[in-house]
Amino acid sequence: MSIFAVIIAAISLWIAIDTERTNRQLVTEAAWPFVQMYTSGGGDLQQPLSLNIANAGIGPAKIETLEVFWNGKPYGTAVELLKDCCGYKSGHPDPSPVQDSPLSTSEIAGTVLRAGDYRSIVRYVLTPENAAAWGALRSQRMKISLRVCYCSVFNECRLTERRELGDKQNLNPPVVKMCPRPEVAYTE
């Protein structure tokens, strides 16, 4: 009889441990963020061109770092990137606060994207004065690369990148113990 009780206790313990493991996995998956990077606009000349990131997961994504590259070179600001890739000429040293500026940027690193939320990293509106630079960005935008390190609410961090925005993104980005600090972080 006591052997039977020990067997039942062992089975009960095994079921409890397996249930706890399953519950932890369910809670983690219920808070799973998935950051995607994409470009939009430009099909219609009335639409602004934009480089965007979105959280297509079901939990919040803490954006730790963002890196932007063109031709393998890292860029810290949109103005630097657009000058090199597209012949951009800035009328203002910092276009972000200017209300009617055709170029707007967003701070991404150090922010939280809710599930289903997105942010434009760069948004560029076509005007008669910037038609050449806008057209160059329209043709070069698929050659821009992005790398983002983001973490879940459980501090499980992932490092995802798109080598070129025209390429497919890895649906299972690797888990990293902590987000690496980039040599040139994108800061706008």
Q: Please tell me which residue, 66 or 8, carries the higher pLDDT value.
A: 66
In the structure encoding, which two tokens stand for residue 158, read together?
């992932």
| 132 contacts: CB under 8 Å, gap ≥ 6 | 87
In the structure encoding, which two tokens stand for residue 185, read together?
């972080």
Q: Convert the pLDDT of each residue in 147-174 to its tens digit.
A: 999 999 989 999 998 887 777 888 889 9
Report how far residue 1's alpha carbon sits from residue 9's, in angstroms, rounded to the nearest whole number.
Answer: 12
Question: Which region among 9-18, 57-66, 145-154, 178-187 has the lowest average model confidence (pLDDT)?
Answer: 9-18
Q: Convert the pLDDT of each residue in 136-150 to its tens digit.
A: 999 999 899 999 999
pLDDT-derived band at 98 (thresholds 50, 70, 90) equals very low
**What CATH code would you report for 33-176?**
2.60.40.10
Predicted TM-score (pTM) above 0.85: no
